[in-house]
Amino acid sequence: MNIVYHEGSRTFHLYNDRISYIMTIMKNGHPGQLYFGRQIRDREDFSYLLETCHRPMTSCVYENDGGFSLEHIRQEYPVFGTTDYRQPAVEIRQENGSRISDFQYQGYTITEGKPSLQGLPATYTESAQEARTLVLTLEDAVTKVRVQLYYTIFAKGGILARSVRFTNTGAQPVWLARAMSLCLDLPDREYVWQQLSGCWARECHIHNRNLEPGIVSIGSMRGNSSHEHNPFLILKRPGTDERQGEAVGVSFIYSGNFRIQAEVDAHDTLRILAGIDPETFTWKLEGQETFQTPEAVLVYTDRGLNHLSQTLHGLYRKRLARGYWRDRARPVLNNNWEATYFNFTQDRLLEIAARAKECGVELFVLDDGWFGARSSDHAGLGDWKANRERLPEGIAGLAEKIERMGLKFGLWFEPEMVNKDSDFYRQHPDWILSTPQRRQSQGRNQYVLDFSRKEVVDAIYEQMADILTNAKISYIKWDMNRSITECYSQTLPPDRQGEVYHRYILGVYALYERLTSEFPEVLFESCASGGGRFDPGMLYYAPQAWTSDDSDAVERLKIQYGASMCYPVSSMGTHVSVTPNHQVFRNTPLHTRANVAYFGTFGYELDLNQLSPEETEEVKAQIVFMKKYREVLQYGTFYRLKSPFEGNEAAWMVVSDDQKTALVGWYRILNCANGNFTRLRLEGLNPEFCYRNAKTGRCHFGDELMYAGLITSDGTAGQAPAGEMPSSDFDSRMYVLEVAES
Ligand code: DGJ
């Protein structure tokens, strides 16, 4: 990996074994973008890549400057309205009302490693050799605002991390009206745009579209990154698929309002922007103050979407997630939510836990309803003290009992929220986000605490830390069940109200940081009604997230398949629940529910006492299986093989690092009579290794399995031979392939 500066041509070339990123300082003093893609050899001058064809009838040009215009030029951090008419990366409102700026290049630094971003989640390095960082410093002479563009290239993989730091070096205040983390101007629009979108219980569905002139965007203005759009974009060349082809990924490490957009101009130049949503953001910068944007990660591959995802999985598993649980196999858990909802007593919980223990579960999680006056979702949020009517021995007593059973104990919180029917709200009615003289909208009967205020965050911290200190708690599920409305903070002046959404998320991050560093061995799982905040920002603090409130196995195929585009298996909370399923009322076989949940952190969301003896035996076997293979499932290399968005079958697989073990999940939605002969071409195996298929007992070399394929034909094909169980709808199989030891 290297970062080279060519003085003569004022060109920067960042490259590693896979990618090159090339910029130049243009004659107007702004950094221009020359190339991003597959690694190319370095040379002194790439300035021919800067095409400045003059278009006299449309372009406005710099006065007395030989017809120079920014209108069609690819730039690194563009402003609007001074010959460029596309959407800008930055907009600075000044005291005189102007929004024009002119950021002139001042100099650069190159450092080993990667600096952290204060108060924000970001990728990191563990040694200086893992990455190098280039910082370009620009300054606007009128406002004296300094902009520092950060580019970190990692030694391995097609990854470039970007962020921006603003400093007002002048005396007058300015207002950042837009401060995107990344601008990437590309020379053409020959890409298919792929986004992950949906809604509650239907997150991360894959949507594709061609890019046409104009603007396409995804984003959130809800205060959380949202169920609706994940902060992730893939641009793939037409013809790119899972196994081959070029693609660029843009992932935004942030949990609040965001925007990722593509603008195609009249000459098919493509501008990608990613950052905090500009519509809901302004930030006042007084003299000497700084503002740090969140980080955006750019990924490039020329080896297909699986490779793009694997690059991100590796980065997010090892250099975004942190702490004790980062590399550890996750405990098999039993969560009581779908088993009891609010209807439980201590005895009932202990019954559920006892059966869970008998089946091999390792962690019992008590979900919503254990605190304050919480007998329904109308009361109690904010009062993080055990409800003694339900839990006479408190959380400490219950945790002790669970531990004595040989289980770990986990607990649910929703720290950012309050019900009006709570002591916390009665004491602090002015601690919620609400606009004076306006209605206060509610969601799930609750209100959002003003986490932009330190005293509010501190008060919640005190309550949580008290429980964590006094009870044996090994896991926390941190939920967040509504979006923000009437966003306004009582303590900020009028010209800082545009800061509230971002300050809110900074408050959430601050609380996470404090709790995770003071209780480092507690496993945190983030959740926002399922996948409402399933984003890289959260993964920095909580290495796993509840992927969706939809626990139906068939629905989960799409959700987990979509999420895997960006997020590793180890980050996806996946549970087996009862049938008929509580979200779609579908009946799926128990083995299919487990076969889907194995590709995640794995657990049960039901009362195992309710199962038949045969089902209980099946569950015991599932847990033995998961414990045996979870390192491979959660930390192996993941491949998507067949998309549930494209047909009746879906498949994916993982391969261990030593390539000696592979686990293949195959799923068929509806049965078909007299079906076809089917084969699945596997990926990532060693062609020289001979793998034993545990189902058939037969051995096959890796090349056979990858090129001829694994036979998945249904032997019963709608007519079961004597003695064989016919398969039906929602069937699935796990294929275990292990290198035969001799
Ligand atoms: C929403 C979560 O996604 C569920 O798993 C559960 O924790 C409920 N909230 C509890 O209110």
- Please state the atom number of ligand 1 nearest to the C-alpha of residue 530: 3
Crossing angle of helices 346-359/394-404, nearest 10°?
30
Q: Prior bond to 580 cis, omega within 30?
A: yes
- Please state the atom number of ligand 1 nearest to the C-alpha of residue 337: 6
Q: How far is ligand 1, taken at its centre, from the CA of residue 153, in Å?
A: 39
Confidence at residue 740, expressed as pLDDT on a 0 to 100 scale: 83
- Please state the atom number of ligand 1 nearest to the C-alpha of residue 529: 3
Confidence at residue 54, expressed as pLDDT on a 0 to 100 scale: 72
Confidence at residue 51, expressed as pLDDT on a 0 to 100 scale: 87
Confidence at residue 742, expressed as pLDDT on a 0 to 100 scale: 58
pLDDT at 717 over 80: no
Question: What single DSSP character describes residue 687?
Answer: T
Q: What are 342-365's pLDDT values in tens digits?
A: 999 999 999 999 999 999 999 999
| Separation of CA 465 from chain center | 27
CB 593 within 8 A of CB 577: yes
Q: How far is ligand 1, taken at its centre, from the CA of residue 337, in Å?
A: 7
Dist. CA 249–CA 566, nearest whole Å: 9
The DSSP code sequence of 418-433 is: E-SBSHHHHH-GGGB-
Dist. CA 409–CA 396, nearest whole Å: 10
Strand 333-335 to 603-605 pairing: parallel
The mean per-residue pLDDT over the stretch 681-702 comes to 97
The mean per-residue pLDDT over the stretch 1-6 comes to 95
Kindly give, in sequence order, each residue whose CB lies less than 8 Å from that of residue 484, ignoring residues fewer than 6 positions away: 222, 223, 224, 433, 448, 501, 504
pLDDT at 716 over 80: no
Instruction: Name the token pair of 663.
Output: 């686990």
Count other C-beta atoms under 10 Å from residue 389's C-beta. 10
pLDDT at 87 over 80: yes
Active site residue 549: yes
Nearest-CA residue for atom 5 of ligand 1: 549
Pocket probe for ligand 1: among 342, 367, 577, 606, the residue whose CB has the most ligand atoms within 8 Å is 367
Kindly give, in sequence order, each residue whose CB lies less than 8 Å from that of residue 332, ignoring residues fewer than 6 positions away: 360, 361, 362, 363, 602, 603, 604, 623, 626, 627
Count other C-beta atoms under 10 Å from residue 437's C-beta. 5
Q: Spell out which residues line ligand 1, taking CB within 6 angstroms.
A: 337, 367-368, 412, 479, 481, 527, 529-530, 546, 549
Q: What are 295-324's pLDDT values in tens digits?
A: 999 999 999 999 999 999 999 999 999 999
Q: What are 206-246's pLDDT values in tens digits?
A: 999 999 999 999 999 999 999 999 999 999 999 999 999 99
Question: What 3-state class would DSSP assign to 309?
Answer: helix
Average pLDDT, the chain: 97
Dist. CA 71–CA 312, nearest whole Å: 34
Q: What are 656-668's pLDDT values in tens digits?
A: 999 999 999 999 9
CB 526 within 8 A of CB 511: no
Enter the pTM of the model: 0.98
Of 185, 265, 479, 607, the catalytic one is: 479
CA angle 181, 187, 191 (to 5 degrees): 85
Count other C-beta atoms under 10 Å from residue 222's C-beta. 22
CA angle 500, 225, 314 (to 5 degrees): 125
β-sheet with 649-655: strand ranges across: 637-642, 649-655, 661-668, 731-739, 690-693, 699-701
User: Which residue type sits at 522?
Assistant: V
In angstroms, the first-to-last Cα distance of the chain is 41
Pocket probe for ligand 1: among 342, 529, 534, 550, the residue whose CB has the most ligand atoms within 8 Å is 529
Q: How far is ligand 1, taken at its centre, from the CA of residue 338, in Å?
A: 9
Nearest-CA residue for atom 3 of ligand 1: 529
Q: What are 385-436's pLDDT values in tens digits?
A: 999 999 999 999 999 999 999 999 999 999 999 999 999 999 999 999 999 9
Percent of the chain scored above 90 by pLDDT?
94
CB 363 within 8 A of CB 407: yes
Q: What are 568-614's pLDDT values in tens digits?
A: 999 999 999 999 999 999 999 999 999 999 999 999 999 999 999 99
Question: What 3-state class would DSSP assign to 370?
Answer: coil
Percent of the chain scored above 70 by pLDDT?
100
pLDDT at 81 over 80: yes
Instruction: Name the token pair of 654.
Output: 């993982």
The backbone torsions φ and ψ at residue 691, rounded to the nearest 5 degrees and listed phi first, read: -105, 135
Active site residue 42: no
CB 268 within 8 A of CB 259: no
